[in-house]
């Protein structure tokens, strides 16, 4: 029927115009205007890609680095997934509890007066993307004690670095403040070894 012909023509035109021309044009324009932001905001050290400004990484086991939020995907940035554990999930309760134990074990000896109820939720609950680059200011402040002690830096020096790598709310209102863990750790390395 005649609607069929119109349909096929429309789908063909749309596939080419909206499916190829539009994204290709946006790729060219975006790259020209915003450079590496369109390409993933990758960070390079010595010619190697060490990560992205926008993506979190694992620093587990390294006591001289700030630790990222828990991730259920092992910080995979090519297979993102949620934990999907419900609010009444016993499995989740056990997970959070275990993470809280590890947090206290790691930070307790450096941060005086740290108890379970003082642990900020972002430190023990998994992020949405599994590659959340940030932690809360409270989390960073607690960890600052350990970093200062392990790396032999004055505490206010560490706190200054935290401040430098804190992204505040945009326009003073949008979103929540957070500390970029990768950038902070890179800055620490530079400070120390550089």
Partner 1 sequence: MTIQGWLQIALFCAVLTALVPLLGAYMARVYSGERTWLTPLMAPLERGFLRLIGSRGAVEQDWKSYGLAVLVFSFCSLVLLYSILRTQGIQPFNPEGFGPVPWDVSFNAAASFVTNTNWQFYAGESTLGYFAQMTGLAVQNFLSAAVGMSVLIAVTRGIVSRGGESLGNFWVDLVRSVLYVLLPISILGALVLISQGAVQSLGGYVEAATLAGGDQGIALGPAASQIAIKQLGTNGGGFFGVNSAMPFENPTGLSNFVQLLFILLIPAALTATYGRMVGNRRHGWALYGVMLALFLVGVVTTYGGESAATPAQADAGIEASADGSHSTGGNLEGKEQRFGIASSSLWSVATTAASNGSVNSSLDSYSGLGAMAPLVNMLTGEVIFGGVGSGLYGMLMMVLLTVFIAGLMVGRTPEYLGKKIGAREIKLVLVGTLTVPLLVLGLTALAVSVPAGKESIFNPGPQGFTETLYAYGSQANNNGSAFAGFTGFVQPNAPGNAGSYGLAFADLLGGVAMLLGRFVPLIAALAIAGSLAGKRIAPPGPGTLRVDSGTFSGLLVFVIVVVAALTFFPALLLGPITQALTERLF
- In the block, tokens 């992205």 appear at 52
Our finding on whether 170 is near partner 1 (CB under 8 A) is yes
Beta bridge partners of 132: none
The residues, any chain, with a CB within 8 Å of residue 67's CB and separated by 6 or more, are 59, 60, 106, 123, 135, 143, 181
Q: Which of residues 135-164 bind partner 1 (CB under 8 A)?
A: 135-139, 141
* Nearest-approach distance from CB 109 to partner 1, in angstroms: 19
**Sole binder of partner 1 in the list 147, 158, 160, 177 (CB under 8 A):** 177
**Which window, 11-19, 106-114, 143-151, 156-164, contacts partner 1 (CB under 8 A)?**
11-19
Which of 107, 134, 143, 165 binds partner 1 (CB under 8 A)? It is 134
In the three-class reduction of DSSP (H, G, I as helix; E, B as strand; rest coil), residue 48 is classed as strand
Number of residues that bind partner 1 (CB under 8 A): 110
Distance CA 96, CA 100 (A): 6
Residue 106 vs residues 53, 61, 143: alpha-carbon distances, Å: 26, 10, 9
Quick one: tokens of 157?
């020096």
User: Among residues 42 and 150, whose Cβ is nearest to partner 1?
Assistant: 42
Query: Which residues pair with residue 44 across a beta bridge?
Result: 49
Q: Which residues pair with 22 in a beta bridge?
A: none
192 binds partner 1 (CB under 8 A): no
Residues 6+ apart with CB under 8 A from 113: none
Binding of residue 93 to partner 1 (CB under 8 A): yes
Least distance between partner 1 and beta carbon 110 (Å): 18
Considering only the stretches 106-114, 134-142, 151-159, report the one whose residues sit in contact with partner 1 under the rule CB under 8 A: 134-142
Which residues inside 34-73 make contact with partner 1, applying CB under 8 A? 34, 37-42, 48-55, 57-62, 65, 69
The conformation of residue 168, written as its DSSP 8-state character, comes to P
Stretch that binds partner 1, among 20-28, 106-114, 143-151, 156-164 (CB under 8 A): 20-28
Instruction: Please report whether residue 111 would count as binding partner 1 according to CB under 8 A.
Output: no
Nearest approach, Cβ of 133 to partner 1 (angstroms)?
Answer: 6
Q: Minimum distance between the CB of residue 122 and partner 1, rounded to whole angstroms?
A: 5
Contact 80, 71 (CB under 8 A): no
């Amino acid at each position: 029927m005649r609607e069929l012909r119109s349909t096929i023509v429309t789908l063909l035109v749309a596939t080419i115009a909206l499916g190829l021309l539009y994204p290709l044009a946006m790729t060219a324009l975006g790259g020209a205007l915003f450079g590496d932001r369109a390409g993933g905001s990758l960070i390079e050290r010595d010619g190697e890609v060490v990560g992205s400004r926008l993506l979190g990484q694992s620093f587990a086991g390294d006591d001289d680095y700030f630790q990222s939020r828990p991730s259920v995907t092992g910080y995979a940035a090519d297979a993102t997934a949620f934990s999907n554990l419900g609010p009444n999930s016993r499995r989740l309760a056990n997970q959070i509890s275990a993470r809280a134990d590890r947090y206290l074990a790691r930070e307790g000896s450096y941060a005086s007066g740290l108890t379970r109820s003082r642990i900020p939720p972002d430190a023990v609950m998994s992020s949405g993307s599994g590659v959340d680059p940030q932690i809360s200011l409270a989390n960073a402040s607690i960890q600052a004690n350990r970093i200062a002690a392990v790396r032999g830096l004055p505490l206010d020096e560490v706190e200054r670095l935290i401040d430098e790598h804190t992204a505040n709310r945009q326009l003073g209102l949008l979103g929540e403040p957070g500390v970029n863990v990768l950038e902070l750790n890179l800055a620490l390395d530079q400070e120390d070894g550089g």
